[in-house]
Copies of this chain bind each other. A is one copy, B any other.
Amino acid sequence: MKLSTKGEYGTRLLLDVALHSRGEPVQLRDIARREKLSLWYLEHLVAPLVAGGIVRTTRGPKGGVSLARPLEEIKLSDIIQQLEGSTAPIACIDDPKFCDRSGSCVTRDIWGEIQKATDNVLESLTLKDLVERHKQKEEAKQPMYFI
């Protein structure tokens, strides 16, 4: 049940863009520095995100990455779908022809339920939620001087 680094880093990439975008694009180089990721690896994460319409990029000086949609319209499931493909724990869920004993397989139903459970979480969360959670954590760190 492992998530690959694509999904992991990709989510952090998006969150980083969300947190640091102030109108202008965010540069990959800065993301790499902040998130301690290899610039060359990031490039491979951006491509599918562009293809999935999650992100726009502009080249040249002052270029970089910016979100293609409002925060609250980018679901975590979109990100994972784009970077990891299906969340099915096993191939025959997406493609019943994959296993022969298709219909009568009890275990297949179970894996289906697991997929549904994780999809529920992923679809209920948007980048906006992540940003808000992040801010809450930040505030929790600072004692509230203003009281």
B120–A84 contact, CB under 8 A? Answer: no
Copies in the complex: 2
For A15, list chain B residues within 8 Å (CB).
106-107
B130–A106 contact, CB under 8 A? Answer: yes
A89–B130 contact, CB under 8 A? Answer: no
A90–B2 contact, CB under 8 A? Answer: yes
Number of interface residues of A (CB under 8 A): 34
How far is B15's CA from A107's CA once the two chains are assembled, in angstroms? 9
How far is B123's CA from A117's CA once the two chains are assembled, in angstroms? 13
The interface bits of chain A over 89-125 (1 if a CB of B lies within 8 angstroms of the residue's CB, else 0) are 1100000000000001011011101110110111001
Q: Is A59 an interface residue (CB 8 A)?
A: no
B121–A120 contact, CB under 8 A? Answer: no
For A147, list chain B residues within 8 Å (CB).
none
Q: Is A134 an interface residue (CB 8 A)?
A: yes
Q: Is A57 an interface residue (CB 8 A)?
A: no
Write the residues of chain A forming the contact surface with B, with a CB cutoff of 8 angstroms: 1-3, 8, 11-12, 15, 76, 84, 87-90, 104, 106-107, 109-111, 113-115, 117-118, 120-122, 125, 130, 133-134, 137-138, 141
